[in-house]
Amino acid sequence: MAAMKSLKTIAAARRWRQGIDTRVVLVPTMGALHHGHEALIRHARKIAGPSGIVVPSIFVNPTQFGPKEDFSAYPRPLAKDLATCRKAGADAVFLPGVAEMYAADASVSVLESSLSTTLCGRSRPGHFGGVCTVVAKLFLAVQPTHAVFGEKDWQQLAIISRMVRDLNFPIVIEPFATVREADGLAASSRNAYLTPAERELAPTIHAAMAESSKLKIPSAIEKSCTAAISKIPGARIDYIEAVDASTLASLPNRKSAGRLAVAVFLGKARLIDNIPLPRIP
């Protein structure tokens, strides 16, 4: 097996890409990789096939952090992350620095104006502008044929899919189901911020979502889920919303596919999750 390549500049990534005429599957990450990321990379390996190429990127993107968020404190265990990429079957890793990705006087960004106005976009102004801009730059640097995004951040997946459609990127977006711990908690780098006591409470969020999703009326789902999560000691609800799976608008009924999306602060961690609300004829 060939050694995994480390690509630290856009120029290096483009030179490397020139000689490849098979599938190239990108897995964008901000590092601090856990078993959920490993599952994404392994899924990319299946998409690439035996002759294709898998490229995770590791870049902590400053433009998607708000002024009161955790950019400087965000974990960066690079050696561990590279070992995870290698174990999961990556062929190369794109590892740019901030100065490589953003000129000091950068003045152009990519903005999405519809799907990003709700949920996390409402709570974190500017976040998805940062996401769209950096993902577009990753696409241009690596030039993948496919890119894998987890469903845990359903809004991000919807926005990136819209960006690819509207800007005509020749890339197939491959969703991957949320990876969960044995007790139902969605795998996340931010779970590391939970104290042991908070970690014991955190699975209650998903349990409340699953129980509430059995109801037929979206407003009743939101009310039930809010009541259950409000009982978690120390929990602070950012939002709990039943939305249309495609438009992210408020879901009026169960006649179209939806998602129950939540964001909850538990101690220092802001936990997001979502589950499907299948159409009820």
127 is catalytic: no
Q: Pick the range with the lowest mean pLDDT from 69-78, 211-220, 247-256, 265-274.
A: 69-78
Q: Which of 176, 206, 233 is the last residue of a domain?
A: 176
* % of the chain exceeding 90 in pLDDT: 95
53 and 156 part of one domain: yes
155 plus 203 within the same structural domain: no
Beta-bridged to residue 54, according to DSSP, are 25
58: nearest Cα among 101, 29, 85: 29
pLDDT exceeds 70 at position 132: yes
- Report the b/e string of 183-216 with b at 16+ CB within 10 A: eebbbbbbbebbeeebbebbbbbbebbeebbebe
pLDDT at 70: 77
Q: Is the pLDDT of residue 2 over 90?
A: no
Share of the chain above pLDDT 70, in %: 100
Q: What is the pLDDT of residue 73?
A: 85
Among the candidates 176, 208, 237, a domain finishes at 176
Reported as a single tens digit per residue, the pLDDT across 138-181 is 999 999 999 999 999 999 999 999 999 999 999 999 999 999 99
Asked if the structure places residue 199 within a domain, the reply is yes
What rounded mean pLDDT belongs to the chain? 97
Evaluate whether 55 touches 27 at the Cβ level (below 8 Å). yes
Our count of domains for the chain comes to 2
114 belongs to a structural domain: yes
- For residue 183 the two structure tokens come to 């007790």
In the chain, the amino acid numbered 266 is: L
Catalytic, out of 37, 43, 127, 206: 37
Is 183 a member of any domain? no
Asked if the structure places residue 157 within a domain, the reply is yes
Same domain membership, residue 120 and residue 95:
yes
pLDDT digits (tens, 9 = 90+) for 48-97: 999 999 999 999 999 999 887 878 888 899 999 999 999 999 999 999 99
Strands 235-244 and 258-266: antiparallel
Cβ pair 221, 239 in contact under 8 A: no
Mean of pLDDT values over 187-204: 96
Task: Tell me whether residue 231 is exposed, middle or buried, using C-beta atoms within 10 angstroms of its C-beta: 0 to 12, 13 to 18, 19 or more.
Answer: exposed
- Domain presence at residue 281: no
Tell me the whole-structure pTM to 2 decimals. Answer: 0.96
Determine the Cα–Cα distance for residues 40 and 12; give it in Å rounded to an integer.
24
Domain carrying residue 253: 189-276
Q: Find the radius of gyration of the CA atoms of the chain.
A: 19
HEC per residue, the chain? CCCCEEECCHHHHHHHHHCCCCCEEEEEECCCCCHHHHHHHHHHHHHHCCCCEEEEEECCCHHHCCCCCCCCCCCCCHHHHHHHHHHHCCCEEECCCHHHHCCCCCCCCCCCCCHHHCHHHHHCCCHHHHHHHHHHHHHHHHCCCEEEEECCCHHHHHHHHHHHHHCCCCCEEEEECCCECCCCCECCHHHHHCCHHHHHHCHHHHHHHHHHCCCCCHHHHHHHHHHHHHCCCCEEEEEEEEEECCCCCECCCCCCCEEEEEEEEECCEEEEEEEEECCCC
Q: Which two tokens stand for residue 277?
A: 């609300």
Q: Let me know if residue 184 belongs to a domain.
A: no
* pLDDT value for 1: 60
